[in-house]
Amino acid sequence: MKQVVISGTGLFTPPNSISNDELVACFNAYAEQFNAEHADAIAAGTVTALEASSSAFIEKASGIKSRYVMEKDGILDPKRMVPHIAERANDELSLQAEICVAAARQALDRAGRSAADIDMVLVACSNMQRAYPAMAVEVQQALGIDGYGFDMNVACSSATFGIQTAVAAVQSGQARAVLVLNPEITSGHLDWRDRDSHFIFGDACTAIVLEAKEAAVSTHQWEIIDTKLKTSFSNNIRNNFGFMNRFDDNGIGQPDKLFKQQGRKVFKDVCPMAAAMIKDSIARAGLQVEQVSRFWLHQANLSMNQLISRTILGRDAEPHEAPVILDTYANTSSAGSIIAFHKHQDDLATGSLGVICSFGAGYSIGAVVVRKL
């Protein structure tokens, strides 16, 4: 069977960063105002007072210290707490397509490829800017790529599911090379007024070029040895926003139209599933855990990653074995594991083995075993 490689990766990082201290100052100002406005109802027990947040709470709960966002002034306005980004005309390049193009150009350059070498564009992420036309087709046009493109959503696992889809396209001959893009503008689906989750997400976009090993010219090649995907339905991470919301006026604008999760249940369910998936993928590839130099894990929560790597290795992972980027990027959904891969791959020697792993809503889990060429 035709061997496929990741020949290039790219990363778009938004220009604005929000520290925990900035975020907490905004949230606490909002909470203080809310409690003042609802003082009588709070005293009567019909409304629950909002508890203040803190930077110490955020870092202990998640390991996150800051996050990048497309726009920060709207988020840090206690009266708004939503990014303030103007709509663009239909004949202008969409915001999500714009960040895809930025990341894609980096990945193409690293792969030593141009738009003429790509036959398929796949935009895979948690939230699309619109339902149609497909974001991937707009990106395809913006880059001048012939061929075809489409969108897919498997939440935080969209990147690994996208990699497997690209591998199949190359192996079947449908495409010589595939561009997989993960444009996560998660600031749009986050409830910045929810103390339990207002700190979780950040914005970013990653890009991956995959092509046949025999044709690749990049000096940054990673051969894909094995891929494994798994889904198991759960409501513990959910977002009910959609075109049918207008059917019921009572639901419009309700908190469930944004990101909601039952964090403790997710932690308990997903950690053993992810660890088992990784170990199984390594075994399927005919390898031993001890042979794997690096684990590029989904960057959702530091404690989750520490537990998963400890379960796999039988000990705490060294920083270089499971690199962390969520301290500065926060949870960037599908982009997280690819950011870690993009930033922490060049130091490994030829022949080094690694695993890219995602896990999240669905539940969905994806594992990709790779070898550096």
Q: Where are the beta strands (DSSP E) in 164-232?
A: 177-184, 204-212, 222-231
**What are 337's two structure tokens?**
């594991």
Which of these is catalytic: 26, 125, 156, 357? 156
In the annotation, is 205 catalytic?
no
By three-state DSSP, how is residue 303 classified? helix
Among candidate residues 5, 12, 4, the one with its CA nearest the CA of residue 207? 12
Residues forming beta bridges with residue 364, ordered by sequence position: 231, 360
Other Cβ atoms within 10 Å of 141 Cβ, number: 14
Which of the 8 DSSP states describes residue 115?
G
- The H-or-E segment that residue 241 falls in is none
Residues 6+ apart with CB under 8 A from 170: 2, 4, 176, 177, 178, 210, 211, 212
DSSP H helices, the chain, are 20-37, 39-44, 55-62, 95-111, 135-143, 158-172, 263-284, 302-313, 326-329, 335-343
Catalytic residues: 156
